[in-house]
């Protein structure tokens, strides 16, 4: 099939040949070729064919995918509610300037709306900046909320690995001035609960602190002005070996070899309370105010995590940096660990499925008087989790129902459409989930097949005799057993048979 | 407060004075004025203040608003599920060309994304066109689905009346080749069920058919080429008196006076089966093939609606036109009727809260071979419903809980943070919804006050003595009763006391 670009190119060829007064035969040949290409493209130019696709990096969700997605959402939402969170919603776009200067190097990935007159708008890039805007705008200094919504990034999509341009974030944040590390610990508990509940296999939550990173950079001799830049390099350690990161620091970012090697020693460290204690004694780090503060809080955090009984899956990891500009304290990221999995032949690329941290300065950037509202939060990366579960379902041949219909209203004989409609109306009004085939005279076999295909467990069959006797024949699709039920008891009988144990 | 435009103007004044070599005192005076304006605007030019707002025509939802919104969604979703619908989701934006030519005059209201390289994209304008694109793309010829999502229209917002630029649509559609009017009747039953369930007061569902309208236009002498244009005028009859619509038809759209008056006679008609029968005998309409088809189907529809027992709230109304281009058969619209309402002083402007119809040609516009998939569907306009319920809640002083927390873990004495964290961790792990104040040593009074404020019904209090005795003091916030519960029975006790009856 010829593309539009190819047609334009061919038209250009024809134009040039004519201009050059080329051999008429050659011109005729190229014109014929052009006409054929146009035909392929959809008859005439004015009515070309639609490109039937979703925009790059996006996808539709089919009913089956939605059923899996809802399971995941339910697990996440019930965890957020278990922790007493309220819920808010914000518009999908914000004033462009609301997003400006919040995302560092990643700002180039923001989707802008076309200037059609009026305000300049951009699609939201995450839920954190809109949350901070919401707090400042409504002068809220104290809230625990969750927000589940789509965000937009003009990134290179890698759809099989669950990286999209339109994707859901599930955010839980605690805003307010509180005693140190209690909300931070709760965020980590939430990640632990959700990842355990979803049974995605073994996972690890890496924890660090921006203050420890900054202190480390200072004692390693990184100039203040290069902190954020070097932090971005460190952030790549989960995808690149140290040697490459090192040469980026030295080559691209102009760091001294000595400073880079010094950083290299620190960023390979990871552990638990023992490591924190050791670093608190580190002759250099212990002299740095920021690092000392960060390490002190890290120790307190681990004490709380011990009370929660979750330190087994937490690793204090000095190589964790996280890209976003706005973090000011604790940062963390949960990764799934590679594992043997009988169900999945090619395991989905293992990566980060949750992340978050403390951002005490962001709300202040929006407040006219710069008043700060300390915040800490976590974002669950639903798309990767969803990719894993979807592959697992595919592999297991588990049959997923996409409706909740309890009963199909059917008839064995002709001319009973009106009776079917009367009965289904009664069932709907009684709150029963019921369907009917939209045919005047459907065959009983087709009606039963529909139940098999869609997993409807019961069939209510009306016929001449049943109508006379004031009963309905109720058929169990799985066992094929049929029994006459008095019409006035039908609702109760269906409820009883389809109630979840 | 000086705006940026005013500052620019003042800067221009200063520039001009300098250029004109004006009196230095005058220049100095204007410069001072400029500097003051800049200060007001936020210190220096580089760091001007944020405009703290959501984009025009959009809003945030607070936790309280979300609680009301969720009630409405639950009513709607349970109705859609009762009727056996699956659920799908599509991206918030589509290729621009997917939306082109579907919305008639309203196309100018579509939000385009900025061309940042790559595909040209637009925000979805409704959920119907993306649904048709989804069907054609996946070659689906048979589905009953719902889709609840935000859509975008650059319309003039009227927020107090629930008209926004970003708003939810709740769509239910049936696609497939079926016997006539059975799915159409189900759509109307769904509107009836949802509006009854939400208890919004009295309502009326107006029904008409595009074929009847087109037949009517034909017999009134409207030229074929003006059908859609005159249809748009008729569509305004719910907001404008007939005289204005008539003069629009004649003046702006060049219709003959005679034709307009002829239309005027028809569009004042509304009724039920009797009116349908009368029009089937109408000497002119009965001679028009389209009108006859439409009236025949309308009769069948009313027979089914009679079986569903809902004709009391249905009106066959020849003035109903609906704006969108893609309808081909039955169309309908539900309006709330003005009423006495004790709660609301100024009732929300009464308007359409649901609408829909049959669109048999839309999927074919996307299919490369033009294969048609007949569709009929309904869209519930959640924002107006939400506005009404929100005002009702405000007026009634009903207290709406925004969390589901069952118990606050508290302590009466100091130094018990660790014990509180241990206990709450146990409760979370057992699935109890629990909160704790993020303070090392909160006062008991503050903890009880928090429960009062947020509606938490129970407090689990740990103290030195309770810890020794292996019990927790459980307090009922409403009655202030306190009773010691053995720690191992606490989860069961909380569950029992907070289970919904």
Residue range A485-501, pLDDT digits in tens: 999 999 999 999 999 75
Asked whether residue A363 carries a pLDDT value surpassing 80, the answer given is yes
CATH 3.30.930.10, chain B: domain bounds: 63-395
* Burial degree of B45 (CB within 10 A; 0-12, 13-18, 19+): exposed
Q: Is A137 on the interface with B (CB under 8 A)?
A: yes
Stretch among A27-36, A117-126, B35-44, B302-311 having the lowest mean pLDDT: B35-44
How confident is the model over A336-365, as a mean pLDDT?
A: 75
Please indicate whether residue B19 or residue A187 has the higher confidence score (pLDDT).
A187
Residue of chain A minimizing CA distance to B442: A179
Predicted ipTM?
0.86
Whether A55 and B119 lie within 8 Å, measured CB to CB: yes
Tokens 């599509």 sit on residue: B90
Note the pLDDT of residue B14. Answer: 77
Note the pLDDT of residue B501. Answer: 58
| pLDDT interval class at A39 (50, 70, 90) | low
Helix (H) or strand (E) holding A111: none
Please indicate whether residue A349 or residue A230 has the higher confidence score (pLDDT).
A230
Q: Is A93 on the interface with B (CB under 8 A)?
A: yes
| pLDDT interval class at A398 (50, 70, 90) | confident
Q: What is the DSSP string of A22-38?
A: --HHHHHHHHHHHHHHH
Q: Is B431 on the interface with A (CB under 8 A)?
A: yes
Nearest to A92 among B62, B70, B150 (CB): B150
**What pLDDT digit, counting tens, does each position of B166-177 carry?**
999 999 999 999
Note the pLDDT of residue B1. Answer: 40
Specify the CATH architecture of the domain A63-395.
2-Layer Sandwich (3.30)
Nearest of A327, A326, A355 to residue A207 by alpha carbon: A355
Q: Is B439 on the interface with A (CB under 8 A)?
A: yes
CA distances from A86 to A27, A137, A142, B292 (A): 71, 18, 12, 55
Tokens of B479: 């009655």
Note the pLDDT of residue B46. Answer: 41
Nearest to B366 among A50, A59, A405 (CB): A50
What gap in Å lies between CA A90 and CA B72, rounded to an integer? Answer: 18
Whether B58 and A91 lie within 8 Å, measured CB to CB: yes
Residue of chain B minimizing CA distance to A53: B137
Note the pLDDT of residue A394. Answer: 87
**What pLDDT digit, counting tens, does each position of A400-451 carry?**
999 999 999 999 999 999 999 999 999 999 999 999 999 999 999 999 999 9
Tokens of A18: 């004519």
Nearest of B210, B310, B319 to residue B264 by alpha carbon: B319
Question: Residues with Cβ < 8 Å from A479, sequence gap 6 or more?
Answer: none
Whether B58 and A417 lie within 8 Å, measured CB to CB: no
Q: Is B185 on the interface with A (CB under 8 A)?
A: yes
Average confidence score pLDDT of chain A: 90
- Dihedral sign (CA A387, A388, A389, A394): positive
What gap in Å lies between CA A478 and CA A452, rounded to an integer? Answer: 8
Tokens 């969604």 sit on residue: B73
Q: Is A114 on the interface with B (CB under 8 A)?
A: yes
Whether B81 and A403 lie within 8 Å, measured CB to CB: yes
Binding site for L-histidine: residue ranges of A? Answer: 126-128, 153, 169, 173, 322, 326-327
Q: What is the dihedral of CA A169, A170, A176, A180, to 10 degrees?
A: -100
Whether B98 and A435 lie within 8 Å, measured CB to CB: no
| Residue B447 three-state SS | helix
What gap in Å lies between CA A28 and CA A34, rounded to an integer? Answer: 10
| Domain B407-499: which CATH number of 3.40.50.800, 1.10.3720.10, 2.60.40.1120, 3.90.1490.10 | 3.40.50.800
Tokens 């639950």 sit on residue: B74
Q: Is B409 on the interface with A (CB under 8 A)?
A: no
Residue of chain A minimizing CA distance to B168: A91
CATH 3.40.50.800, chain A: domain bounds: 407-499
State the smallest CA–CA distance between residue A316 and chain B in angstroms: 21
Tokens of A256: 């001294």
Nearest to B88 among A61, A307, A418 (CB): A61
Tokens 């704006």 sit on residue: B323
Angle of CA points A186, A189, A194, to nearest 5°:
130
Question: Residues with Cβ < 8 Å from A123, sequence gap 6 or more?
Answer: A92, A93, A110, A111, A112, A113, A151, A152, B92, B113
What is the pTM assigned to this prediction? 0.86
Note the pLDDT of residue A324. Answer: 74
Contact B208, B276 (CB under 8 A): no
Stretch among A285-294, A296-305, B16-25, B102-111 having the lowest mean pLDDT: B16-25
Residue of chain B minimizing CA distance to A145: B63
| pLDDT interval class at B40 (50, 70, 90) | low
Nearest to B433 among A82, A166, A402 (CB): A82
| pLDDT interval class at A345 (50, 70, 90) | very low
Please indicate whether residue B484 or residue B338 has the higher confidence score (pLDDT).
B484
Q: Which residues of B touch A116 (CB under 8 A)?
A: 111-112, 154
Contact A139, A167 (CB under 8 A): no
Contact A190, A75 (CB under 8 A): no
Whether A178 and B402 lie within 8 Å, measured CB to CB: no
Question: Residues with Cβ < 8 Å from A461, sequence gap 6 or more?
Answer: A410, A411, A412, A444, A472, A473, A474, A475, A482
Nearest to A84 among B95, B178, B435 (CB): B435
Angle of CA points A197, A201, A207, to nearest 5°:
80
Whether A89 and B66 lie within 8 Å, measured CB to CB: yes
Whether A425 and B189 lie within 8 Å, measured CB to CB: yes
**What pLDDT digit, counting tens, does each position of B404-455 carry?**
999 999 999 999 999 999 999 999 999 999 999 999 999 999 999 999 999 9
Tokens of A160: 């099989």
Pick the residue of B1, B4, B43, B50 with the most A CBs within 10 A to test the interface with A by mutation.
Answer: B50
Residues 57-76 of B with CB under 8 A from A: 58-63, 66, 69-70
Residues 142-181 of B with CB under 8 A from A: 143, 145, 150, 152, 154, 166, 174, 176, 178-179
Whether A425 and B63 lie within 8 Å, measured CB to CB: no
Q: Which residues of B touch A134 (CB under 8 A)?
A: 60
Indicate the DSSP class of residue B399. Answer: P
Q: Measure CA of the first residue to CA of the last residue in chain A; give whole Å.
A: 56
CB crowding A457-476: b at 16 or more within 10 Å, else e? bbbbbbbeebeeeebbbbbe
Pick the residue of B172, B368, B438, B446 with the most A CBs within 10 A to test the interface with A by mutation.
Answer: B438
**What pLDDT digit, counting tens, does each position of B238-296 carry?**
888 999 999 999 999 999 999 999 999 999 999 999 999 999 999 999 999 999 999 99
């Amino acid at each position: 099939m010829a593309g539009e670009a190819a047609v334009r190119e061919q038209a250009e060829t024809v134009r040039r040949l004519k201009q050059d007064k080329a051999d008429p035969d050659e011109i005729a040949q190229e014109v014929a070729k052009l006409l054929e290409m146009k035909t392929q493209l959809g008859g005439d130019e004015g009515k070309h064919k639609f490109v039937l696709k979703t925009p790059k990096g996006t996808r539709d969700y089919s009913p089956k995918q939605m059923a899996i997605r809802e399971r995941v959402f339910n697990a996440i939402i019930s965890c957020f509610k278990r922790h007493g969170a309220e819920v808010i919603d914000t518009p999908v776009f914000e004033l462009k300037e609301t997003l400006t200067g919040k995302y560092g190097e990643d700002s180039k990935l923001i989707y802008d709306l076309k200037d059609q007159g009026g305000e300049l708008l951009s699609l939201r890039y995450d839920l954190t900046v809109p949350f901070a805007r919401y707090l400042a705008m409504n002068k809220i200094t104290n809230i625990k909320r969750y927000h589940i919504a789509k965000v937009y990034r003009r990134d290179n999509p890698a759809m099989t690995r669950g990286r999209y341009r339109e994707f859901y974030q599930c955010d839980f944040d605690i805003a307010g001035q509180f005693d140190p590390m209690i909300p931070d610990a709760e965020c980590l508990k939430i990640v632990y609960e959700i990842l355990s509940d979803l049974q995605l296999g073994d996972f690890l939550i890496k924890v660090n602190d921006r203050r420890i990173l900054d202190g480390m950079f200072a004692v390693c001799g990184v100039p203040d002005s290069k902190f954020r830049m070097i932090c971005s390099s460190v952030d790549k350690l989960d995808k690149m070996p140290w040697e490459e990161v090192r040469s980026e620091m030295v080559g691209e970012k102009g760091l001294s070899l000595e400073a880079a090697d010094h950083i290299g020693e620190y960023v390979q460290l990871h552990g638990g309370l023992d490591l924190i204690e050791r670093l608190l004694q580190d002759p250099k780090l212990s002299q740095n105010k920021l690092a000392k503060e960060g390490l002190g809080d890290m120790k307190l955090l681990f004490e709380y995590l011990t009370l929660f009984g979750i330190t087994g899956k937490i690793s204090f990891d000095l190589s964790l940096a996280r890209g976003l500009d706005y973090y000011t304290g604790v940062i963390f990221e949960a990764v799934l660990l590679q594992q043997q999995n009988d169900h999945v032949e090619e395991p989905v690329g293992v990566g980060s499925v949750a992340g978050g941290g403390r951002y005490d300065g962001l709300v202040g950037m929006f407040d006219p008087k710069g008043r700060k509202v300390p915040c800490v939060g976590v974002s669950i990366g639903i798309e990767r989790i969803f990719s894993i579960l979807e592959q697992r379902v595919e592999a297991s041949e588990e049959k997923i129902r996409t409706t909740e219909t309890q009963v199909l209203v059917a008839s064995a004989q002709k001319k009973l459409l009106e009776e079917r409609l009367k009965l289904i109306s009664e069932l709907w009004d009684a709150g029963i989930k019921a369907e009917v085939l939209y045919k005047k005279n459907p065959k009983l076999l087709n009606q039963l097949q529909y139940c098999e295909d869609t997993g409807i467990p019961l069939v209510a069959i009306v016929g001449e005799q049943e109508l006379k006797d004031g009963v309905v024949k109720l058929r169990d699709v799985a066992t094929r057993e049929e029994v006459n039920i008095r019409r006035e008891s039908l609702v109760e009988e269906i409820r009883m048979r389809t109630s979840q144990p």
